[in-house]
Amino acid sequence: MPSASDSAGALKDRTRLEWAADGAAVAALCIAAVVFLGGWLLGIEALRRIPLSAAEMKANTAVGIAAGATALLCLRRDGSRRQRAFAMGGAGLLAAIGALSALQWVFGFDFGIDLLLFADPTSGTSGNLPGRPALGTALAFVLIAFATWRLPRDSRRNRTASVAASALASLIAVGGALAQLVDERAFHDSMRFGVMAPPTAAALLLLAMALLAANLRRERSSARPTSPYTGFTLGLTFALGLLATLTWLDWRSDVRLQAASDWVVHTHEARAARYLLLAHILDIEVEQRSYLLTGLTQHRARLESAIDREAAQQRRLGELTLDEEQQATLKQVRPLVASLVDFARRTAAMRDTAGAAAAEREVAALEGDNPTAGIRAVLRSMDVRSDELLATRAGAALRETRNGRRILVVGTMLCGALLIAVFLQLLRETRLRRRSQEELDRFFTLSIDLLGIAGIDGHFRRLNPAFSQALGHDAASLLERPFLDFVHPDDQAATRAEMAKLDRGEPTLAFENRYRCRDGSWRWISWRVHPFLAEGLLYATARDVTAQRRGSEDLQEAVRRLAIANSELESFSYSVSHDLRAPLRSIDGFSQILLEEHAAQLDEEGRSHLGRVRAAAQRMGLLIDDLLQLSRVARTPLIRRETDLSALAAELLAELRRGEPDRAVEFDIEPGLVALADANLLRIALGNLLGNAWKFTRQRNPARIRLRAERADGRTTYRLEDNGAGFDMAYAARLFTPFQRLHSSREFEGTGIGLAIVARIVRRHGGDIRAEGELDRGATFAFSLKSDDAGSRSEDPTS
Amino acid sequence: MSSTRVILLVEDNPDDEALTLRALTKNRIANEVVVARDGVEALDYLFGTGAFAGRNPADRPQVVLLDLNLPRLGGLEVLRRLRAEPATATIPVVVLTSSKEDRDLVDSYRLGANSYVRKPVDFVEFVEAARQLGLYWLVLNEAPIGEGPR
């Protein structure tokens, strides 16, 4: 289990190690395959058959393994197309050998590929067809080729297929290796589809493992990881397959051991049966002699009984004797016994008719040719043969016992290893799971957002601490009651409707309701909830949006007030425009009437005073008009269009010239100045600027007014220069403030609002304006209109 | 040449009324000037209702000089109503006001004003404006003929 600090570096090291390991394995496979092929090429059996008692590796198998190893070697890096093509070629060759060999086995075809490369001089010794790889090998080849073919494709399905195929191939290899444990020629002979050579099994296992490792590596670096269950399923299948193989081998070994033991027992039974037969034969002899000696009828009866028992025993022995040779030998016993029985009966009858002496003579006459001795000899020869059989059968039993023991040990070890592997994997999974659980728990606890799980039944099941912190209730009281109890009465209907939606499986993406806090206040909570209907659970993340709600309410209030203020300002301007001017008109009008109608009653001074009254009234009218214009400039919407500044300036100057046709003024206007600007506002601004220039150059002869553009840093600055009265730069900042004048109105008339209007128009266009000047040396007004470089993208910030 | 029909001056400010009358007189405009001091009075005069009941509405003024800022009924509303009546729909209306607001200007023309004149503060200019108005509306302009019985 890697520690928390397990960095990418450690992972890299591990990966490098794995690379080295399976690179070495695959390279070793290539070399081994070449060595085996050399064994075929040079005809050295020791190179093909390791160990010598085992099955040999076929030439095609060696070629296939070489092809498979080469393909894997080529695929080790995500190399060029050529490398990949080469790899696919190797896999194709492997698949062809495997598939063709398997078809030959299953359907009994002969495509003639078995002996294509080399003749097989050791044909037919072990149930194998000459030169043909075992069926297991062929199938493993096909599987490995498939796994190799799928390997470079990075998708979950491909990876699963590749892993499954290599796992199956390794299972076959393990089966082949296990079969080597059965130390018995007869077993190998009995394998219908050939026997895998031990090096083949090892090579297949290595190939399959290398493929599994490659897949694991890809899995780790893949963006689309396989479900862990795939690995578990494969492992389980593998373990079950291994157990099944072991069980079969063990069962088979046991059956054979039983059979061998039965044989041994049977051999002993047969021997016992022969001794019993001999005993009955001796009984016949004894009873015959006893009768001859005593003449007692009981001996005569016993003789007959012994004859019967002997016959029965002879039948039984016949049944027990299965060996053909023994049966033939046993047949020699029958005439001998028959003559013995016949002799016994004959002498007994002779004693009854001719007397005991005659019978004894008859017996003595036979001594030299006693059938009993013959029978003994025959039975003894059967014993000798029986001993031979016993030795063979006991040997077989011993071998089976040994096989069984071996399978038991290896099987137990494999199962143990598998158990350990499974245990380690489980341990790792458990730790990983616990760790990810801990991680989740920490995030759950740390989260600023409210996280919770609720049941469809309307109760919270689990809540993070943020919930308690936001609402002030402790977790237990939140879990205890339905959450609707905490919802604001006005929001309950909407909350119910949202719950109904969730109940239908529709997620909640943005829903806000109010929750009651412990102190009785309400907090706005914004919800994002996903229902998991199968579990009957709702997973919710939520956020306390009370502050935002309050903020947005404040904002709306501010906007509303601003709108009111604006409309008030508008009606104020309107009233100013109307009502302030009316009295001025009266002042001016009646002053004029006084001057006209009552001039006679006024002296010169009175008329002069009335003149000043009229001038003041008119000046106030101008001030009002200018102020109105200043406010209107800020209020009217800005509509940008391509506006020809040069043409506009020329037009305005022509107007000014019409007003004072006698003045000598030289214009120098750069042609083709086009700006994206509001034409009406620009006309007002330029009108003011040009009006100023016209006005302040009144004492110059000739007066010069010049308009040109400067482009720097993608920004166009328009410069309007004159050679007029200029101003002191110390007061430059005051120029653009309303009512601030740098010249007395006696010198130059004006309200002091014009430049404020200009500045406001320029700023509404996103530009800025500055003034440069020197007293009596002229003034320059430089302004920019942002739209020039930003184009139509720039929006008016105030409208 | 000069018609003898009346001029209807709608004006609530007595100063403005006096100045307007003086400006007209100074320009030797001899037409009788009827003064209505709010919108309702103006409509009563035009339709022959209220205080002017019995007056023949077909006896149309030569021109209406209409202020916008009026008590009771605003100038724009007066304009809208007199344009709505067939009998008064074609009477020339000159809006004579202090307002320089674009909104008023646009609304006046939209409601069918024939002219829009802003009263200047300078009385000399006002007199000049009155002269031009008189010349245009009382002398040069031809009113539609044959509308309604006289």
Quote the minimal CA–CA distance from A585 to chain B in Å.
4
Task: Provide the residue type at B139 as one letter.
Answer: V
Query: Is residue A295 within 8 Å of residue A348, measured between CB atoms?
Result: no
Q: Which residue of B has its CA nearest to A632?
A: B101
Determine the Cα–Cα distance for residues A153 and A719; give it in Å rounded to an integer. Answer: 68
Determine the Cα–Cα distance for residues A685 and A770; give it in Å rounded to an integer. Answer: 14
pLDDT in tens, B49-102: 888 888 887 788 889 999 988 888 889 999 999 899 888 888 899 999 887 777
Quote the minimal CA–CA distance from B117 to chain A in Å.
13
**What percent helix, strand, coil does chain B show, rounded to 5?**
40, 15, 45
The per-residue DSSP string of A741-798 comes to -SS-TTTS---S-HHHHHHHHHHHTT--EEEEEETTTEEEEEEE-THHHHGGG---S-
Quote the minimal CA–CA distance from B99 to chain A in Å.
5
**Residues sharing a CB contact under 8 Å with residue A559, sequence separation 6 or more, in sequence order:** none
Helix (H) or strand (E) holding A175: helix A156-179
Ramachandran angles phi, psi of A70, nearest 5°: -65, -45
Question: Which residues does chain A have with pLDDT short of 50?
Answer: 1-6, 123-127, 788-799
Q: Which residue of B has its CA nearest to A615?
A: B122
Determine the Cα–Cα distance for residues A446 and A466; give it in Å rounded to an integer. Answer: 8
Quote the minimal CA–CA distance from B66 to chain A in Å.
14
Burial state string for A138-157 with b = 16 or more CB within 10 A and e = fewer than 16 = bbbbbbbbbbbbbbbeeeee
Measured between alpha carbons, how far apart are the two ends of chain A, in Å? 64
- Please give the torsion angle defined by the CA atoms of residues A787, A792, A796 and A799, in that order, rounded to the nearest 10 degrees: 150
| Cα angle: B130, vertex B137, A574; to 5 degrees | 55
Hey, which residues 58-87 in chain B have their CB within 8 Å of chain A? 68-69
Query: What is the token pair recorded at A362?
Result: 């008859």
* Interchain CB contact of B14 with A (< 8 Å): no
Quote the minimal CA–CA distance from A743 to chain B in Å.
25
Hey, which residues 58-77 in chain A have their CB within 8 Å of chain B? none
Interface touch A577/B98, C-beta < 8 Å:
yes
Interface touch B121/A581, C-beta < 8 Å:
yes
A592 vs B contacts (CB less than 8 Å): 123-124
Determine the Cα–Cα distance for residues A289 and A300; give it in Å rounded to an integer. Answer: 10
B102 vs A contacts (CB less than 8 Å): 632, 636
Question: What is the pLDDT at residue B35?
Answer: 92
Query: Is residue A689 within 8 Å of residue A720, measured between CB atoms?
Result: yes
Query: Which residues in A517-663 belong to E strands, given as ranges?
Result: 522-532, 537-544, 641-644
Question: What is the pLDDT at residue A560?
Answer: 92
CA-closest candidate to residue A104, choices A94, A114, A95: A114
A621 vs B contacts (CB less than 8 Å): 120-122
* Interchain CB contact of B44 with A (< 8 Å): no
B24 vs A contacts (CB less than 8 Å): none
Quote the minimal CA–CA distance from B45 to chain A in Å.
25
Query: What is the token pair recorded at A147?
Result: 């796994």
* Interchain CB contact of B53 with A (< 8 Å): no
Question: What is the pLDDT at residue A635?
Answer: 78
B68 vs A contacts (CB less than 8 Å): 578
Interface touch A582/B122, C-beta < 8 Å:
no
Interface touch B121/A617, C-beta < 8 Å:
yes
Give the three-state DSSP class for A184.
Answer: coil
Question: What is the pLDDT at residue A223?
Answer: 64
Ramachandran angles phi, psi of A510, nearest 5°: -150, 105
Q: Above 90 in pLDDT, residue B10?
A: yes
**DSSP bridge partners of A644:** A674
Give the three-state DSSP class for B24.
Answer: helix
Q: How many residues does chain B have?
A: 150
Quote the minimal CA–CA distance from B54 to chain A in Å.
35
- C-alpha pair distances (Å), A484 with each of A440, A452, A493, A494, A543: 27, 15, 10, 11, 17
A574 vs B contacts (CB less than 8 Å): 99, 101
Determine the Cα–Cα distance for residues A697 and A726; give it in Å rounded to an integer. Answer: 9
- C-alpha pair distances (Å), A79 with each of A83, A119, A348: 6, 38, 106
ipTM above 0.95, yes or no: no
Write the Ramachandran bin of A390: left for phi over 0, alpha for psi from -120 to 50, otherwise beta: alpha
Determine the Cα–Cα distance for residues A94 and A5; give it in Å rounded to an integer. Answer: 44
Neighbours of A457 (CB within 10 A): 8
Question: Using CB atoms, which residue from A573, A579, A618 is nearest to B121?
Answer: A618
**DSSP bridge partners of A708:** A719
Q: Which residue of B has its CA nearest to A571?
A: B101
Q: Which residue of A has its CA nearest to B97?
A: A578
* Interchain CB contact of A530 with B (< 8 Å): no
B16 vs A contacts (CB less than 8 Å): 582, 585-586
| Cα angle: A66, vertex A70, A72; to 5 degrees | 120
Task: Provide the residue type at A440 as one letter.
Answer: L
- C-alpha pair distances (Å), A95 with each of A81, A114, A244, A588, A649: 21, 15, 27, 114, 88
Interface touch B101/A582, C-beta < 8 Å:
no
